[in-house]
Amino acid sequence: MSEENNNVSQVEENTSNEVQEETSNSFKESLQVDTNNKIADELIETRKELEDITDRYKRILAEFENHKKRSQKERTMLYSSILADIAEQLLPIMDNLENAVKAQTEDEEYKKGVELVLKQFKDLLTSKGIEEIKAVGEPFDPALHEAVSSIQDPNLGEKVVASEYRKGYRIGDKVIRHSMVIVAN
C-alpha cells in the first residue's frame, strides 16, 4: 500500500507540476500578450504622433515657401514701383533730348553729342526694363493711350492711333506714362 500511496503521491505531484507549468505558461503567455498589446498600442500612438509632427512640418514648410514667394513678389513690386517713380521724373528730360535731336542746327558735332546722350538714356531705360509703348498705327487702347484729339482719316481704320503727341512708357505690365495720341475716325 505504501507503494500505491507513493504512486498516488507521485501522480498527484506530477499532476500538480503539470498544472503549475500550464498555469505558469498561461501566465507567461498572458504577460507576453499584454506586453505585445502595450507595445502595439505604444507603436500606434507613436505613429500618430509622427503623423502629426510630419503634418505640422509640411504645413510650416508650405507657409515658409509661401512667405518667401510673397516676400520676393513684394520686393519685386517695390523695386518696380520705385523704378517707375524715378523714371516718371526722368521722362520729361528724355522728351527734351528727343526735341533737341529734332531741332535744326548747323553744328553737327553738337547734334551728335545730343544724339549720344539720348541713346545712352534710352539704353539705360531699356536695361532697367522700361520700354516705349507702341502707338502709331496700333488700335487705340485706353489702358496704354490717352486720346487728346481725333481726326478723320479714310486711310486708317476706326479707333487707330494716327499720331503721337508724347511717347508713353511702361515697365512690364505697369504703365509709367500713357502715350498722348491723336485717334483716327
Determine the average pLDDT of the residues in 129-146. Answer: 92
Hey, what amino acid is at 87?
A
pLDDT of 145 strictly over 60: yes
Q: Measured between alpha carbons, how far is 176 from 118 in angstroms, rounded to an integer?
A: 19
Pairing status of strand 145-151 against strand 179-184: parallel
DSSP 3-state of 27 = helix
- 1-59 pLDDT, tens per residue? 556 555 556 656 665 566 566 655 665 666 676 778 888 889 999 999 999 999 999 99
pLDDT of 68 strictly over 80: yes
Query: CATH assignment of 131-185?
Result: 2.30.22.10
Q: Could you tell me the three cell numbers for 124?
A: 539705360
Q: Measured between alpha carbons, how far is 75 from 65 in angstroms, rounded to an integer?
A: 15
Residue spans per domain, the chain: 2-128, 131-185
With a threshold of 0.75, does the pTM exceed it? Answer: no
> What pLDDT does residue 10 have?
64
Hey, what amino acid is at 15?
T
Residues 129 and 164 sit within 8 Å (Cβ to Cβ): no
For residue 131, the surrounding DSSP H or E stretch is strand 130-133
Q: Measured between alpha carbons, how far is 156 from 162 in angstroms, rounded to an integer?
A: 7
